[in-house]
Amino acid sequence: MPDGAPALARRIGPFDATMIVMGGIVGSGIFVTPAIVARAAHSPVLIVAAWLVGGTAALLGAFIYAELSSARPEVGGQYAYLREAMHPLVAFLYGWALLLVIETGGMAATAITFARYFRELVPLALSDGALAAVAMALLTAINCFGVRAGSSAQSALMIIKICALAALIATGLLFGGGGATSRGSGGSIAGLGAALVPVLFAYGGWQTSCFVAGEMRDPRRDLPRALLAGVAGVIVLYTLVALACLHTLGAADLARTGVPALDVMTRVLGRRGAVAISAGIAVSTLGFLSQSILTAPRVYFAMADDRLFFRAVAHVHPRTRVPVVAIVLQGVLTIVIALSGTFEVILNYVVSIDFVFFALTAACIFVFRRRGARGSFSMPGYPITTIAFICVCAAVVVSTFRADPAHSIAGLAITLAGIPVYLLWRARAARDATSTPREQSAPP
Position 419 scores a pLDDT of: 96
**In this structure, is residue 440 part of a structural domain?**
no
The residues, ordered by sequence, that sit 6+ positions from 21 with a Cβ below 8 Å of its Cβ are 62, 206, 209, 226, 227, 229, 230, 231
**In this structure, is residue 236 part of a structural domain?**
yes
Position 440 scores a pLDDT of: 47
List the chain residues with pLDDT less than 50. Answer: 438-444
C-alpha to C-alpha distances, 102 to 148, 162, 295, nearest whole angstrom: 25, 25, 13
Nearest 5°: the CA angle 203, 351, 359 is: 75
By CB atoms closer than 10 A (0-12, 13-18, 19+), residue 224 is buried
Domain boundaries, position 51: 14-433
Position 438 scores a pLDDT of: 43
Give the separation between CA 175 and CA 184, rounded to whole angstroms.
21
Position 442 scores a pLDDT of: 44
Position 439 scores a pLDDT of: 44
Position 240 scores a pLDDT of: 96
The answer to whether the beta carbons of residues 219 and 152 sit under 8 Å apart is: no
**In this structure, is residue 444 part of a structural domain?**
no
Total domains present in the chain: 1
Q: Amino acid letter at 52?
A: L
Q: Per residue in 257-289, pLDDT tens?
A: 888 998 999 999 998 888 998 888 888 888 889
**In this structure, is residue 78 part of a structural domain?**
yes
The answer to whether the beta carbons of residues 106 and 292 sit under 8 Å apart is: yes
**In this structure, is residue 438 part of a structural domain?**
no
Give the separation between CA 245 and CA 248, rounded to whole angstroms.
5
**In this structure, is residue 441 part of a structural domain?**
no
Give the separation between CA 214 and CA 218, rounded to whole angstroms.
9
Position 141 scores a pLDDT of: 92
Q: Per residue in 303-326, pLDDT tens?
A: 998 888 988 998 888 888 888 999
By CB atoms closer than 10 A (0-12, 13-18, 19+), residue 237 is buried
Give the separation between CA 92 and CA 426, rounded to whole angstroms.
11
CATH classification of the domain holding 422 = 1.20.1740.10
First-to-last CA distance in the chain? 25
